[in-house]
Structures are given as C-alpha cells and as structure tokens.
Amino acid sequence: MGPWNTDQINQARRVRFSKVLDFIGAYHKVDREYEPLDPGRKSIRVQVGYQGRDFRFILTGEKFVNELLPDGTPNRGGGGAVDFVRHITGLGFVQAVKICLDAAEDGIGGVG
C-alpha cells in the first residue's frame, strides 16, 4: 500500500482540514453567516483560494462538498484530509498522504 502502513494512512485522513490548508499555504476563511439546513450536523462553509483557484466547501466532520461544482459532478466531494488535499491540489494519493502527515507534525492549525 505504498510507503505507509494502514494506521499512518488513517492518521493522514483524520488531519484537520484547516491544518492542511495552512500547511499548503491556501487562503481560507469561514463564512460566519452560513446557516446549515440541519444545525445538528455542525456543518461550516469555508471559502478557499489555492494557486489561483477558488473553492467553496461545506465541511461536515470529515466530509466535504465543493459547492462551486454542479450537483452530480464526479469527485465534487469526499471524506478525509487525503481526499481534500487531492481535490484542492490535483495531486495523487501518495503525495496527498505525505502532505497530510507532514501537516499533522507541523503543529499549525485553525478551524474546520
């Protein structure tokens, strides 16, 4: 399964979205006016800018959806930090896992 064992990959998937966004140098801002349809799910909306591209995510726990892509678009959303990094950067699985693990060790953090 590549250079990491299953536990390390699972650790990479659990890294906070804000940590990987900070680590890759992406701009991100929580939309404080967003009101989720189901407040019990504790979803937040985050605007992200990365290398000239804009994203608007709904984050619910470890799941995300890019609102700027039309419904039904393949890979519009996903689950876990590895998928999140792949979605934003376009990198492959191995590179995304490395970013997530490096971000986890970096000690920076924020919201989301």
Question: Could you report the per-residue pLDDT of 99-111, keeping only the tens digit for each?
Answer: 999 999 876 544 3
**CATH code of the domain containing 76:** 3.90.580.10
CA-derived radius of gyration, the chain? 14
Structural domain span for residue 60: 6-105
pLDDT tens-place string over residues 1-48: 468 899 999 999 999 999 999 999 999 999 999 998 888 889 999 999
Give how many domains the chain has, as a whole number.
1
**pTM score, two decimals?**
0.89
Is 35 a member of any domain? Answer: yes
Residue 111 lies in a domain: no
Domain contains 72:
yes
Measured in whole angstroms, how far is the alpha carbon of residue 19 from the centre of its chain?
A: 9
Structure tokens at 37: 């349809």
